[in-house]
Amino acid sequence: MSERFSFDLHARDGKARTGVIQTPRGAVRTPAFMPVGTAATVKAMMPESVRATGADILLGNTYHLMLRPTAERIDRLGGLHKFMNWERPILTDSGGFQVMSLAGLRKLTEKGVTFKSHIDGSKHELTPERSMEIQRLLGSDIVMCFDECPALPADRDRIAESMRLSMRWAERSRAAFGDRPGHALFGIMQGGLEQDLREESAEALKAIGFEGYAVGGLAVGEGQEAMFDCLDYAPGFLPEDKPRYLMGVGKPDDIVGAVKRGIDMMDCVLPSRSGRTGQVFTRHGVLNIKNARHIDDPRPLDEACTCPACRNFSRAYLHHVFRSQEIISSMLLTWHNLHYFQEIMAGMREAIAAGTFAAWEADFHAGRAQGDI
């Protein structure tokens, strides 16, 4: 364990990179996929199971935890790591994104956002300063700047105005974060799909200086083509020697395309949320276990998968427990999906280190082209 936060780049293959983020709570191998543990739990998973899938770090959420059970209560109980029994690194989002997508009656000013809780209607305020305080109380290892992510589609002026507000909030976040060795503050690039605004945002963040940089404002409905067009230039505006985190991405092919374009870290609710709806990701493509065609199928989800769902259960069984709404259905399908997402990350790390990323990517896409799996 290191006492400090650092990022070591081990190899590159084209724009793709592989390395390690060292933190006092453990190392994070990049490219990294970060499971989402919004309310202090990765739904349907024990923490040791999340680790068993290969995860080095998981995500917590300022918005949800400030409302319930509150950051002050988690702090009194020893912090989020102890509270949720996950002693490895935790990254927390700053809360602004969830306020705009979840909270009621929101008011946005230069100071921050006031809103009503979607849980009990109580009034709350989030500012850069309050977000930094909440993330400090939670004890997260990687703290995100308080930003505003504009809903798309939005006109250029709105995007520019929003980005510039987020840059002023990034300044205030940095000032409020203070000097916290071993902890990192990441800036969040905004600017929508406008190349010049993305560059302006990156320049503003670099002038402030952060331990890592996120590409925000994507995975908000723009579609994969527009996202990749933006990722063809946006990561390159960020420092080479610092981690680059693409927020909220994504499906397996989004993840591969993002790593190919220079992204080091990603998060998405997809593997866990879709597991609860019966959607299963495999190397041969996607299937939904609720489909009647699985009712008598003795095969595992994926013959080549080593997760507990694939080692010990048939599709017929998984179909049965999903249809019966048994709790084990969410457990097994979530575990499988997270395991598969981590397998993609491990494959890419290895391929980048070996200089064979292009071949790995071709094999990844070929395997998924099959029909009914």
Ligand X SMILES: Cc1ccc(CCc2c3nc[nH]c3cc3c(=O)[nH]c(N)nc23)cc1
Is 97 or 360 the residue whose CB approaches ligand X more closely? 97
CA atoms of 83 and 284, how far apart (whole Å): 38
Under a CB-based contact definition with an 8 Å cutoff, are residues 126 and 146 in contact?
yes
CA atoms of 5 and 177, how far apart (whole Å): 15
- Residue 94 in the binding site for ligand X (CB under 6 A): yes
Q: What DSSP state is assigned to residue 315?
A: H
Smallest separation, CB 103 to ligand X (Å): 14
- Residue 133 in the binding site for ligand X (CB under 6 A): no
- Residue 36 in the binding site for ligand X (CB under 6 A): yes
Under a CB-based contact definition with an 8 Å cutoff, are residues 318 and 333 in contact?
yes
Smallest separation, CB 205 to ligand X (Å): 13
- Report, as residue numbers or ranges, the catalytic residues: 93, 267
Smallest separation, CB 119 to ligand X (Å): 16
Smallest separation, CB 92 to ligand X (Å): 7
Q: Which stretch binds ligand X (CB under 6 A): 77-85, 94-102, 314-322, 328-336?
A: 94-102
- Residue 141 in the binding site for ligand X (CB under 6 A): no
Amino acid present at 89:
P
CA angle 273, 279, 284 (to 5 degrees): 125
Residue count at the site for ligand X (CB under 6 A)?
Answer: 20
The secondary structure of 75-112 as a DSSP string is HHTT-HHHHHT--S-EEEE-SHHHHHHH-EEEEE-SS-
- Residue 329 in the binding site for ligand X (CB under 6 A): no
- Residue 193 in the binding site for ligand X (CB under 6 A): no
Is 215 or 287 the residue whose CB approaches ligand X more closely? 215
Q: Which stretch binds ligand X (CB under 6 A): 19-27, 128-136, 170-178, 212-220?
A: 212-220
Q: Which stretch binds ligand X (CB under 6 A): 93-101, 253-261, 288-296, 357-365?
A: 93-101
Under a CB-based contact definition with an 8 Å cutoff, are residues 38 and 64 in contact?
yes
Is 205 or 301 the residue whose CB approaches ligand X more closely? 205
Binds ligand X (CB under 6 A): choice among 55, 220, 230, 310: 220
Q: Which of 241, 263, 267, 256 is nearest to 345 (CA)?
A: 256
Per-residue exposure over 14-27, b if at least 16 CB sit within 10 Å of its own CB, e if not: eebbbbbbbbebeb
CA atoms of 151 and 149, how far apart (whole Å): 7
Is 170 or 309 the residue whose CB approaches ligand X more closely? 170
- Residue 59 in the binding site for ligand X (CB under 6 A): yes
Q: Which of 155, 146, 151, 144 is nearest to 113 (CA)?
A: 146
φ/ψ (deg, to 5) at 108: -105, 125
Is 143 or 247 the residue whose CB approaches ligand X more closely? 247
CA atoms of 137 and 79, how far apart (whole Å): 7
- Residue 224 in the binding site for ligand X (CB under 6 A): no
CA atoms of 4 and 25, how far apart (whole Å): 10
- Residue 144 in the binding site for ligand X (CB under 6 A): yes
- Residue 93 in the binding site for ligand X (CB under 6 A): yes
Binds ligand X (CB under 6 A): choice among 139, 248, 278, 300: 248
- Residue 61 in the binding site for ligand X (CB under 6 A): yes
Residues that bind ligand X (CB under 6 A): 36, 38, 59, 61, 93-94, 96-97, 144, 147, 149, 188, 216-220, 247-248, 267
